[in-house]
Structure 1
Amino acid sequence: MTTAPTTESQETAPQQEKAKGAGKIVARTIPVSAIFPDPEQPREHFDEDKLNELAASMRKLGQLESIAVRPGPANTYLLIAGERRWRAAQIAGITKLRANVHLGVADGDPMTLAKQVAENVARADMTPMEEAKAFQRLVDAGYSIEEVAEMCGKSPAYVGWRIDLLQLAPAVQEAMAKGHLPVNLAWYVAKLAHDNQVRFLSRWVRGDFPAARDAEAFAQACAAEEKRQGEQGAMFVLADADEAAQALADDGQEPLFADLSNDEQERITVERKKLLGKIDRMSEIGTVLSEIATMEPGELALLLAGAPGGLAAQRQRITHLQSLAVKANKSLRDAQMAAAVRAGGTQATPEAAMEATQDSAVINHA
């Protein structure tokens, strides 16, 4: 069990402290110049503006919270928690910091890493990729997703979503870090093969999607198509951005018939006619809704207040229709993106795709 900090008045070298009992914590004042960031620190980027704000606060009010360190090599200390305060102290010209020195902590200690991750995540200063890498390191150290979530005050789903981002291609990671790709959309993109991730990114940057939801649906459709073609022994390769934009524009309906049997094509043709007939009848509902929307409220009250269930029942019926319309619109959006994917992609055998990648690498390095 970790003990509360105690104060030692005499100077003690880090090497001597290192030999003391594991788990003991001593409170000391340490020169800033003797403190160094832990190479295992999960955070990689620090906001300069926020550091300057913290430096100004420390310059005026002093150090409000102790940092946590452990003995390092050659009379130095390595940070466990408080790197922002240490960096701000240097900006503010502060030469010494109060610190809780954790003794007997070995390099790569999983609990130390857990404390570093928990502190940084709690302060909401880590980038999504920093969180992803930190969570994965904790999992690699033997913690379960549930334990990581509990330590960091997050849900297991959140931790899992962040770890999934590690599947992003380097170029896509960089785009997300620069704010060119929303984190939520990046999670869907991470499900794709790296080559298709990069092709998808080019379309997103071009503005080929009306909204982020359309892009998410497109990425999901790509993942489904990758799986479908993979089961057939082929690889799904997205077309270039120009071809994809054209596919989005014209819906690409008939190219979807390409790998269907004659019987299946006939079935689809019959079912399409039935569905279109039903959709055509929706105009009747639209006429009724338009009439209700333009009625004077007092007149509408007189007409429906005395009807079975009253106005509340009629409004509930409209609300139900609205909910169904939202769901139907989502289904149509997903279908539109699926059609664009099927029309804007090609099939290749794994061997052919590998040869194409190798040829491209040779050309790029020539």
Structure 2
Amino acid sequence: MAVKTATTAPKGAKPRKTAPTGAPQSPTSDKSAATATAKIVAKTVPIDRIDRDPTQPREHFDEGKLQELALSMKELGQLQPVSVRYNAATRRYILIMGERRWRAAQIAGLTELRTLVHHGIEDGDPETLAKAVAENVGRADMTPMEEAKGFQRLVEFGYDIEKVAAMCGKSASYVGWRIDLLKLSLPLQEALIKGHVPIGLAWYVANLHHDNQARFLGRWVRGDFATARDAEAFAQACRVEEERQSTQGSFFVLAEGVDEAGAAGAQGGLFGELELPAEERERIVSERKKLVRKIEQLGTAGTILAEIATMDPGELALLLGGAQGGVGGQRMRIDHLKDVAGKAVATLRQAQAVASVRAGALQIAPDAAADTASNAA
């Protein structure tokens, strides 16, 4: 192929360019006989004859903002009509757009609402759902999971992801990433809704098996990760390990309660180093010593940079002004070091995640997993 309320793609994710496998193409523009005769009538309707649409993607409403809207409606009345459709079988009205106003009107004690009544619309009409999703998507108080469910329902109605994106004013990648969030376990969905997990991180975790999602959530809640970026790298490493072990006929499950110190002490054995041929072990030991020596030399660079950081700018200008390249040339050299250092930190973050995952991994053979399930039953 991301809590900030992200509208950007998770870093490192691959863009989704096509609809999910098997997704049908967009419905044709041909209308059914009922839809063809649809008409819209302005009408005042008793509130107690209006029902919410059970397919409405929004499920959470900010109570504080509802109270504010209710006070406004009590003082000024209803400023905009709501859209409803008439159900001839029940002789009741179902909301299409305007559920916030409907809820606030009830709080305000209003007994009637001005409506635009759509006749001839059947239950499950995809265009009606599309309007509801398009109206709500991107609102600050609409949760990522509500968006995901709304997008997924449109796909189930037959729209491909590109069409859904166009209707809702989003990119196809945005729609695809939101739908991917539906792979989250219920506890993680709840954590995302409440803002306890950043959306970018949630997307990476959604790619894990549910057992590992639960164990990951435990680590996140305990504060095992220094930053969200570290947590993302850990989730990515978990996914790679899941795929690696599945190709070997094993299941990968994160162990619980493994701290960083324990992981560091166990890395050699868990990486399988002792199982390698003697020649390969010798190579690893030799390369390890070389790399560690090089990293230790960074202390000299750090000392030089610390000295420059504390110098008087006027003195620096005097000393370096006559040097080749001048002050600007020396700054460019240090800027280059900063860029390379940033990339090195990112790579080390990923390496640390891989080490932590493998050190805290339980490898379960299929036969053992089957025996465990049988005993539990």
TM-score with structure 2 setting the length? 0.85
Q: Which residue of 2 aligns with 1:127?
A: 143
Instruction: State the 1:245 CA deviation.
Output: 5.2
Number of residue pairs the alignment of both structures matches: 342
The equivalent residue for 2:27 is none
| Identical pairs, percent | 61
Q: Distance in 2 between matches of 1:160 and 1:171?
A: 21
Q: 2:69 aligns with which of 54, 69, 83?
A: 54
SS at match of 1:243: coil
- In the alignment, does 2:267 pair up with 1:253? yes
Match of 2:95 in 1: 79
1:26 equivalent to 2:41? Answer: yes
Q: 2-side partners of 1:86 and 1:304: how far apart?
A: 70
**Correspondent of 1:163 among 167, 179, 193:** 179
Instruction: Please give the root-mean-square deviation of Cα atoms over the aligned residues, in Å.
Output: 2.1
User: Which residues in structure 2 correspond to 1:191-340 (within 5 Å)?
Assistant: 191-240=207-256, 242-244=257-259, 246-248=261-263, 250=264, 252-258=266-272, 261-262=276-277, 263-340=279-356
Higher RCO (C-alpha 8 Å, min separation 6)? 2
Taking a change above 3 Å as real, the CA distance of residues 119 and 293 of structure 1, as seen in their structure-2 partners, is same
Supply the AA of the counterpart residue of 1:255: G
Pairwise CA distance, 1:80:
0.5
Unpaired segments ≥5 residues, structure 2: 1-32
Judge conservation of contact 2:271–2:359 (CA < 8 Å) in 1: no
- In the alignment, is the contact (CA less than 8 A) between 2:53 and 2:96 conserved in 1? yes
Are 1:71 and 1:101, in contact at CA under 8 Å, matched by a contact in 2? yes
Q: CA deviation at 1:305?
A: 1.8
Kindly provide the CA deviation profile for residues 310-366 of structure 1, in whole angstroms up to 9, marking residues without a partner as x.
222211221111111111111111111110110111111234334435655x5xxxx
Deviation at 1:189, TM superposition (A): 0.8
Provide the residue aligned with 2:15 in structure 1. Answer: none
State yes or no: 1:68 paired with 2:91. Answer: no
Q: Distance in 1 between matches of 2:197 and 2:79?
A: 37
Change over 3 Å in CA distance of 1:133–1:350 after alignment to 2: farther
Structure 2 residue identity aligned to 1:303: L
Return closer, same or farther for 1:292/1:226 CA change in 2, 3 Å cut-off: same
Q: Secondary structure at the match of 2:323?
A: coil
CA contact (8 A) 1:21 1:103 kept: no
**Number of the residue aligned with 1:8:** none
Q: Deviations over 1:22-46 (max 9, x none)?
A: 3422221111111111121111222
Question: How far 1:307 sits from its partner (Å)?
Answer: 2.4
| CA–CA distance in structure 1, aligned partners of residues 337 and 291 of structure 2 | 18
Structure 1's unaligned 5+ residue stretches are 1-17
Deviations 1:176-218 (A, max 9, x none): 2333322221111111111111111111111111222111111
Would you say the 8 A contact 1:28–1:99 is kept in 2? yes
Q: Which amino acid aligns with 1:353?
A: A
Judged with a 3 Å threshold, the aligned counterparts in structure 2 of structure 1 residues 132 and 358 are, in CA distance, closer, same or farther, namely: farther
Conserved 8 A contact 2:49-2:92 = yes
1:353 aligned to 2:369?
Answer: yes
Q: Normalising by structure 1, report the TM-score.
A: 0.87
Quick one: distance in 2 between partners of 1:338 and 1:327?
17
Report the 3-state secondary structure (helix = DSSP H, G, I; strand = E; otherwise coil) of the residue aligned with 1:186.
Answer: helix
Structure 2 distance, partners of 1:222, 1:122, is 31
Deviation at 1:252, TM superposition (A): 4.0
Contact 2:34 2:121 in 1 (8 A): no
Q: Give the structure 2 partner of residue 148 of structure 1.
A: 164
Query: Is the alpha carbon distance of 1:79 and 1:359 closer, same or farther for their aligned partners in structure 2, counting shifts above 3 Å?
Result: farther
8 A contact 2:271–2:358 mirrored in 1: no
Distance in structure 1 (CA, Å) of the matches to 2:35 and 2:162:
33
2:14 alignment counterpart? none
Moved more, 347-356 or 46-55: 347-356
Partner amino acid, structure 2, of 1:140? E
How many Å apart are 1:82 and its aligned residue?
A: 0.4
Which residue does 2:57 correspond to in 1?
42
Q: Which amino acid aligns with 2:64?
A: D
